[in-house]
Structure 1
Amino acid sequence: MKPKIWTAALAGLLCLSGPAASLAQDSGPLVQKVTAATPQPKLIVMIAVDQFSADLFAEYRSHFTGGLARLASGVVFPSGYQAHGATETCPGHSTILTGNHPAHTGIVGNNFFDLSAAREDKRLYCAEDETVPGTSSKDYAPSAKHLLVPTLGDLMKDRDPKAQVVSVSGKDRSAIMMGGHKADELMWLAPTGLTSYRGSSLSPVAQQASAAIAAAIAAPEPGLTLPADCAAHDIAIPLDGRKGGIVGTGRFARDGADFRAFRASPQADGAVLAAAAALRQARKMGEGGSTDLLIVGLSATDYIGHGTGTEGAEMCLQMLALDRELGDFFARLDATGIDYVVALTADHGGHDLPERNRQNGWPDAQRLDPALDPEKIGKAVAEKLGLPEPLLYGDGGDYYLSRALTPAQRKTALDEILPRLRAHPQIEAVVTADQLAVHPISKRPADTWTLMDKLRASYNPARSGDFIIALKPRVTPIPEPGIGYVATHGSVWDYDRRVPMLFWRKGLAGFEQPNAVMTVDILPTLAALIGLPLDTKNIDGRCLDLLSGPEDSCRSGH
């Protein structure tokens, strides 16, 4: 039995007009081949699938029959790169619609530290406003204030205030980093359905969508039947340090009102797509005089990858469901007759849990040594050298030395810490902020970047650590697996950096370009399609020509 098409079910609750058209149906007027003279599209749909690696796209590509199959018939860049080193959710989303690496977006990680902050919690969440009274990195006031550059939507609004920009996602950081500073509506999934910035109210249609999603969350689900395509993935894996094997989530069976299980299921993506379809319809996006931007962040693949890995039966079910959900969503857009263009990519890749990697031909896959915890290292060094505590802060690859140290104490601490880390068998390299500050951001193709190039693209002098560590390949930075968190991403290696980049428009001749491109190229590519001028000195990406043959979408001015 195939997974339910949740978009269709929720669309009915949201009173969307009419059923979705068949994907095989050529709905709307005939559109001739897209050329340089073709009018600008009326709607841009930007889709980010969290943790949708190039490896997953390649593995399941032959199984796609719905929306992902449609996109794979368009312009395909199978070797897109989130080129930077800190391959986390917030930095990755910050590159997609800004044209800039995290070095310039300022989003160096999901969290970073501001040791001068007045509050006790020095860790800042990438999408919080730490000036709001009572906020913390765990209980925060969502905000785009840390995003230092404009997004495509911001630039579209600057050119034409009537242009509509709507961003809806499974995660706040996805919605915010792609939606930018000026979105008309911006929202994400929550236990209550949908939510937005503190103090802001949802529009009536968003409220209706939120109520329908809340009802879906409240209802229990019996789980999905495993199709034949996924049977080979149904193998229990014994986990390091945990009794029993991993068999996933029971095919997404869950009790009612279990939001954590809901968001880690295909239902979550269906809910976001249904809300996006409802908002587009209510606002008549793509039907006015301006080009509009609809941003969709799909997060279930990431939660499933973290909870059960990338090669289990649950991920197989998710890939098939995602394909069908997107197909239903596109069919609804087709039925409107709107001329729309779609771009799809991911914020980062990912790799499987080390226990399954060891079973599947990679015996050196490991979990992180708990001794590499920054707090433990800082405590040991402070006690040895008689330095004040806390000495060291860290989250991910960035490590920060206490600002209470004198210059002499700082040097003494670094002289002790850096050799200790560099000698650890799980660490590939340790690079200081001083080294990164003088290293230029690479202009070479992303598949040729050195480790220093990758780390430099993530380095922002105001926010990055005093030094940054890079782990060796297939070292999973989770010391002990827990419920819902057995695998992750964040490394400098290509399994975390490579993502597909897909473009589709009715009448656009498809082709495949296997050479390396980057997610920072998406902004200038889409801007060219709508004739939006850019100051190329302020972006890291370049326009990608989407027209097969001698014509060039980057120079057409269309």
Structure 2
Amino acid sequence: MKNIFSLIVVLFVFCSCGAQNTTTDIKKETSVLETTARPKLIVGIVVDQMRYDYLTRFESKFGDGGFNRMINEGFNCKNNHFNYVPTYTGPGHASVYTGTTPKTHGIIGNNWYDKEIKESVYCAGDDNVTSVGTEDKAGKMSPHRLQTTTIGDENRLFTQMQGKTIGISLKDRGAILPAGHTANAAYWFHGRDEGRWISSSFYMNDLPQWVKDFNTSDKAESYLKEWDTFYDISTYTESGVDENTFEGGFKGKEKATFPYDLKALSKDNRGFDILKATPYGNDLTTDFAIAAIKAENLGQDKTTDVLAVSYSATDYVGHNFGVNSKEVQDTYIRLDKDLERLFNYLDSTVGQGEYTVFLTADHGAVDVPSYLHSVKVPAGYVDNKDRKVKLNTFLNTTYGTEDIVENISNDQIFLDRAKVKALGLKLSEVQDAIAMEELSYTNISKVYTATTMSTTSFSKGVEELLQNGFNQKRSGDVILVNDSAFISYSKTGSTHGSGLNYDTHVPLLFFGKGIKHGQTFDKTVIPDIAPTISALLGISFPNGATGQPLGFVID
């Protein structure tokens, strides 16, 4: 009996040890899954005003470590488009990270007329917060007008606020809208006579020491130097001639030609702000992003972090010099070097194959219409003043007053609905009458009313794009569509905002952990990005997401 009892004890101990070892093994396997299944760091890169054809037009000038590394090792979506209008910076950044369009996330422009408070508002402006890092009002910003969550928000919620989210951009909106509502920080560059990175009290009460150290390092000052082409300018055969009549240039320099003495020119060009319109603005952004990765220990543990980087200098250069300029080409050649520098740093700190990157743009841009016109492509400039005079004449003749129109902005007409009602008029009939009047004006292609956008479902064409960009609470009563390549802008430099291919067709590259190698010509749209990253991480999609995960991208 004693021997049997001893045997039972031995068996019990053996089984207990085995069970304990099995539990330990399971914990080890779970731990391994937690640390290997998900990337340690998601890096979202938005290149402001990057047309898709810059990838192909400047390809021969790119090295192997930037754009081409993403293409050669990652996945290239070659037919990627914005699926809404307007194609501006604020809506673009919001759409990339929320996985939906202005119809849902509410950022209908960089600025828009607020129908409730009867004044124009800025997409990131917030008078209820204070500037951090400057006494200037440039820090009074937050994401409070963004109505949905972002990838960063969802990752923060999924990780019980352990995963960090940080947004970085020369532009406040380029940092704030991608970072979302729960971000640890968003930083943007305040130029003029300060040249420093700042934030707002929405995120913090004081800048971290590493940001203060960066600001006192004179890094920004070091870029106030000569800007000449990276390679011999004679090899820049993929862009137009350096001296032409289609570029803006800088105050204080007679011709918009290389080289540019930025230190000397800064005095007449808002001080440090001149850096924003040169490739050195992207260099500075990369410097700051690398400093953030190091100081904040991004990607250094098993919990995924999110870093949103927006390269804004490309947009400033494009607006100033135009998409066919030598200045734009040089900016992208230098940006390619910045990407290589960033990826190399990520390889050495986070670890090669341990992070995931996506790269896209917030919109494209039109060739300078005056240049297009010179080569016999239909293009030109709209006369908004003439349109307004004609519209006021129509309103006075038809309704006895022009006061029923409250605001005209962003190709939208906002009516004073109280005035319309007081005059005993039917809102939809007034909208229709103004729409038909506007349609008769030169260089207006199409006109739609808010009533039509709210009651009719469109599934193709510019009508679908307009509807995806139409927010019932925030958008206007009448929406105008200009002729192709006809813009409201100066006769030098490029702009954007339409639903045409030059504004909608932008790059979409995925690269790194969990990403297949390949390419597709199948159409993808900007709202697909956030659900794809969410699927890769196994987290909830942003709460308003309407895009679909691109399964063919994920390994």
TM-score, normalised relative to structure 1 = 0.81
Contact 1:235 / 1:247 at 8 angstroms: preserved in 2?
no
- Once residues 412 and 347 of structure 2 are traced to their aligned partners in structure 1, the CA distance between those partners, rounded to angstroms, is 46
C-alpha spacing 1:508/1:464, structure 2 compared with 1 (3 Å): closer
CA distance in 2 between partners of 1:219 and 1:327 (Å): 19
Aligned partner of 1:220 in structure 2 is 224
TM-aligned CA deviation for residue 50 of structure 1: 0.4
8 Å CA contact 1:88–1:348 kept in 2: the answer is: yes
The question of whether the paired residues in 2 share the 8 Å contact of 1:168 and 1:187 is answered with yes
Superposition deviation, residue 252 in structure 1 = 4.5
**Within 1, Cα distance between the matches of 2:42 and 2:368?**
36
The equivalent of 1:197 in structure 2 is 200
In structure 1, distance between residues paired with 2:139 and 2:416: 24
Change over 3 Å in CA distance of 1:218–1:543 after alignment to 2: same
Which residue in 2 is equivalent to 1:468? Answer: 479
Whole-angstrom distance in 2 between the partners of 1:299 and 1:196 = 17
Q: In the alignment, residue 76 of structure 2 is paired with which amino acid?
A: V
**Larger CA deviation: 175-184 vs 415-424:** 415-424
Counterpart position of 1:437: 454
For 1:188, the equivalent position in structure 2 comes to 188
Q: CA deviation at 1:260?
A: 2.9
Amino acid at match of 1:220: L
Alignment partner for residue 291 of structure 1, among 295, 304, 316?
A: 304
The answer for the alignment partner of 1:25 in structure 2 is none
3-state secondary structure, aligned to 1:78: strand
- Residue 215 (structure 2) aligns with: 210
Which residue is 2:365 aligned to? 350
Give the counterpart of 1:389 among 397, 400, 403: 403
User: For residues 35-83 of structure 1, what are the alpha-carbon distances to aligned partners after superposition, in whole Å with 9 as ceiling and x for unaligned?
Assistant: 9x96211111100000011122232233321311111211000221111
Equivalences for residues 143-542 of structure 1 within 5 A: 143-160=142-159, 161-191=161-191, 192=194, 193-197=196-200, 200-212=205-217, 215-217=219-221, 220-225=224-229, 226-230=232-236, 233-238=240-245, 248=256, 250-255=258-263, 257=266, 258-338=271-351, 339-359=354-374, 361-371=375-385, 374=388, 376=389, 379-384=392-397, 385-387=399-401, 389=403, 391-407=405-421, 408-409=424-425, 414=431, 416-440=433-457, 442=459, 449-478=460-489, 480-481=490-491, 486-505=493-512, 508-534=515-541, 538-542=544-548
Q: Shift of the alpha carbon at 1:152?
A: 0.6
On the 8 A contact 1:42/1:286 being kept in 2, the answer is yes
- Change beyond 3 A, Cα 1:301–1:453: same
Structure 2, unmatched stretches of 5+, are 1-32, 131-136
Residue 126 of structure 1: aligned partner: 123
Specify the code of the residue in structure 2 equivalent to 1:83. Answer: N
CA shift in 2, pair 1:519/1:427, >3 Å: same
Q: Distance in 2 between matches of 1:502 and 1:55?
A: 13
Check 1:336–1:414 CA distance in 2 against 1; reply closer, same or farther (3 A cut): closer
Shift of 1:116: 2.7
Preserved contact between residue 130 and residue 140 of structure 1 (Cα < 8 Å): no
SS of the aligned residue for 1:196 comes to strand
The SS at the match of 1:238 is coil
Q: Which residue of 2 aligns with 1:113?
A: 113
* Closer/same/farther in 2, CA of residues 439 and 273 from structure 1, 3 Å limit: farther
- 2:226 aligns to what SS in structure 1? coil
The amino acid across from 2:49 in the alignment is Q
Greater alpha carbon shift after TM alignment, 79-88 vs 191-200? 191-200
Q: Quick one: distance in 1 between partners of 2:148 and 2:257? A: 39
**AA in 1 matched with 2:224:** P
Of 32, 53, 74, 1:55 maps to 53
CA distance in 1, matches of 2:455, 2:277: 42
Whether the 8 Å contact between 1:439 and 1:456 is mirrored in structure 2 is no
Distance 1:372 1:465 in 2: 20
Amino acid across the alignment from 2:284: A
Kept after mapping to 2: 8 A contact 1:248/1:307: no
**Gapped regions of structure 1 (runs ≥ 5):** 1-34, 443-448, 554-558
Q: 1:150 to 1:249 in 2, by over 3 A?
A: farther
User: Aligned equivalents of 2:531 and 2:104: distance in 1?
Assistant: 16
* CA 1:252–1:301: 2 relative to 1, 3 Å: farther
C-alpha distance in 1, partners of 2:163/2:535?
16
- Cα displacement string for residues 408-449 of structure 1 (whole angstroms, at most 9, x for unaligned residues): 35657546532221012311111000100123364xxxxxx3
Identity of matched residues, %: 28
Of 259-268 and 55-64, more deviation after overlay is shown by 55-64
- Which residue number in structure 2 is paired with residue 26 of structure 1? none
Q: Equivalents in 2 of 1:512, 1:219: separation in Å? A: 37
Give, in angstroms, the shift of residue 517 of structure 1. Answer: 0.2
The Cα of 1:110 is off from its aligned counterpart by: 1.1
Assess, with a 3 A threshold, how the Cα gap between structure 1 residues 141 and 187 changes in structure 2: closer, same or farther.
same
Residue in 2 that maps onto 1:71:
70
- Counterpart Cα distance in 1 of 2:541 and 2:515: 24
SS at match of 2:155: helix
**Cα RMSD (Å):** 3.0
User: Cα deviations across residues 141-164 of structure 1 (Å, max 9, x unaligned)?
Assistant: 312111000001111111111101
User: 2-side partners of 1:451 and 1:540: how far apart?
Assistant: 18
